Copies of this chain bind each other. A is one copy, B any other.
Amino acid sequence: MADHVKVLTLDTMNPNVKKVEYAVRGPIVQRAVQIEMELQQGVKKPFTEVIRANIGDCHAMGQKPITFFRQVLSICSYPDLLDDDRFPEDVKSRARRILQACSGGSLGIQGCGVIGAPSPPSGSYSTSQGILLVRQDVARYIEKRDGGIKCNPDNIYLTAGASDGIVTMLKLLVSGEGPSRTGVMISIPQYPLYSATLAELAAVQINYYLDEESCWSLDIRELRRALEEARKHCTPRVLCIINPGNPTGQVQSRRCIEDVIQFAAEEKLFLLADEVYQDNVYADGCEFHSFKKVLFEMGPEFSEQVELASFHSTSKCYMGECGFRGGYMEVVNLDPEVKFQLTKLVSVRLCPPVTGQALLDLVVNPPEPHEPSYNIFIKERSHTLAELAKKASMTQQILSQVPGIQCNPVQGAMYTFPRIHIPPKAVSAAQEKGQAPDMFYCMRLLEEMGICLVPGSGFGQKDGTYHFRMTILPPTQKLETVLEKIKEFHQSFTQQFS
């Protein structure tokens, strides 16, 4: 067996997996880790720490967890704490309520929510759909959010973060070969989960470009252009929207959402609405409208026909609990037979993390004004959201002062995606290194300033334009430093290459 050749090599592995890319954790972050190590080893650098503004990892950036959530979760993990005087009564009653919804009274179960639960059409599989009590609370939350529009807990699927739900729905939606292969429309710039999942599923990615000149808004004519072009070589069946936008931070107007729904209805497209930033809206005059709500307010010819799946998560907003992998999706007008298939599919994965389900239950069902935990909860939530709002405007303000950087207002979400002018000399320098120009730019920024951003090329951008994505998550002081350093860097970079 001296001539042993490996069974699994780059040549024999799944070619779709090879095509997967996920820039948010790409080479730039890899280099950041190395630099952190060099600093630890005492290597001299023009900076003393690497500041990571590359990923939306709130707590890692110092955002504090909500006390009420963590108190309830600690009791759910160790119910003996129910007798601990440190916890207010509402914390204890929430913990009791969640534990009672778990068969065996333990977070450690997977078959949660079934015993004694009303049997949904999909029957036993509801264990895998998530704890019934949590799905009921999610449904109430959605009804309240959407001004009373009905939500059926049986249309709620609890997920391990939003990514899990998005991947599951795309899995169901992709079929056909050659020209009948499913085409999926995604915004450019996009969040790379979409391109990565489409590559893995060998679906056809259809790019529609957001309009940077009008604050990353979505123009229906551009949707139509992309659709018609795509129809020449695939069968477009899905339209993905991220609102508020990642990486672009725009908040869609209600009018625009109506147009999109109208378009989806006319063109027979299944809508996927990624709404994980629904509580991250900062700009005056901007408001979050859920696709579900607008769909139903447009009347029965839409609300009874347009197929929609929308997604939410416990990882963003004021919670920022990425690590618990909590989330849900709501399906609307899903064919009942397909719904059964969906429930079957998720049952193979057994169940979403139960701690994430418990956390989600608290997010959709926070303390009421009359409850002892209410004041501190509101204080913590408002503080976090106010800080984010402040940082959002500061980010645009400072970056807009820099000649050669164009920065749209950060209306929502947690990112800015400014356009950067890269001098032709720098572009050629990058090409010599075989790097995308904005990768070249970000690498230099990292080496010279210790700031870790993600090049725009990882999200997609109009040819010949260059951007970076930066989170607004670092603490205000640190964020200001970051922005000033970027300013300084951009000026010297421009000089050097002009």
Contacts and interface: CB of A to CB of B under 8 A. Distances in A.
Interface stretch (A32-40, A381-389, A415-423): A32-40
A464 interface: no
A165 interface: no
Give the copy number.
2
B124 A338 contact: no
Given A59-B104, A124-B25, A353-B356, A171 B333 contact: no
Given A60-B109, A116-B36, A348-B22, A14 B353 contact: no
Contact of A70 (B77, B192, B197, B334): B77
B305 A4 contact: yes
A78 B9 CA distance: 44
The 8 A-B pairs with the shortest beta carbon distances in the complex, nearest first, are A30-B123, A323-B354, A29-B124, A74-B78, A110-B322, A59-B106, A353-B353, A74-B74
Nearest to A14: B175
A372 interface: no
A131 to B, nearest CB: 10
B337 A108 contact: no
Contacts of A351: 322-323, 325
B84 A33 contact: no
Given A73-B78, A78-B74, A355-B353, A9 B335 contact: yes
A25 B127 CA distance: 9
Interface string A344-361: 110111111111100000
A285 interface: no
Interface of A: 1, 4-10, 12-15, 17-18, 20-22, 25-27, 29-34, 36-37, 40, 52, 55, 57-63, 65, 70-71, 73-75, 77-78, 80-81, 84, 86, 102-104, 106-112, 114-119, 123-128, 160-161, 163-164, 171-175, 192-193, 196-197, 200, 237-238, 265, 268-270, 301, 305, 307, 315, 319-325, 333-335, 337-338, 341, 344-345, 347-356
A325 to B, nearest CB: 5
30 contacts: A1-B265, A5-B268, A8-B270, A10-B335, A10-B341, A18-B341, A20-B345, A22-B348, A25-B124, A33-B119, A36-B115, A37-B118, A57-B104, A60-B106, A60-B109, A60-B111, A62-B104, A73-B77, A74-B77, A74-B81, A77-B77, A80-B86, A81-B81, A84-B86, A102-B323, A108-B320, A163-B350, A323-B355, A325-B350, A355-B355
A321 B8 CA distance: 33
Contacts of A117: 33
Nearest to A118: B37
A12 B111 contact: no
Contact of A7 (B36, B86, B115, B268): B268
A439 to B, nearest CB: 14
A160 to B, nearest CB: 7
Among A58, A108, A125, the one with the most B-chain Cβ atoms within 10 Å of its Cβ is: A108
Given A29-B114, A323-B353, 15 more contacts: A1-B305, A10-B337, A20-B348, A25-B347, A26-B124, A30-B125, A31-B123, A33-B117, A37-B116, A60-B111, A62-B104, A71-B78, A77-B77, A324-B354, A353-B356
Contact of A30 (B10, B119, B270): B119
A58 B33 CA distance: 41
A341 B196 CA distance: 12
Contacts of A78: 70-71, 73-74
Nearest to A339: B8
Contacts of A354: 323-325
A107 B322 CA distance: 9
A134 to B, nearest CB: 12
A348 B125 CA distance: 27
Given A29-B124, A123-B33, A355-B323, A65 B106 contact: yes
B8 A338 contact: yes
Among A26, A52, A350, the one with the most B-chain Cβ atoms within 10 Å of its Cβ is: A350
A110 to B, nearest CB: 4
B324 A37 contact: no
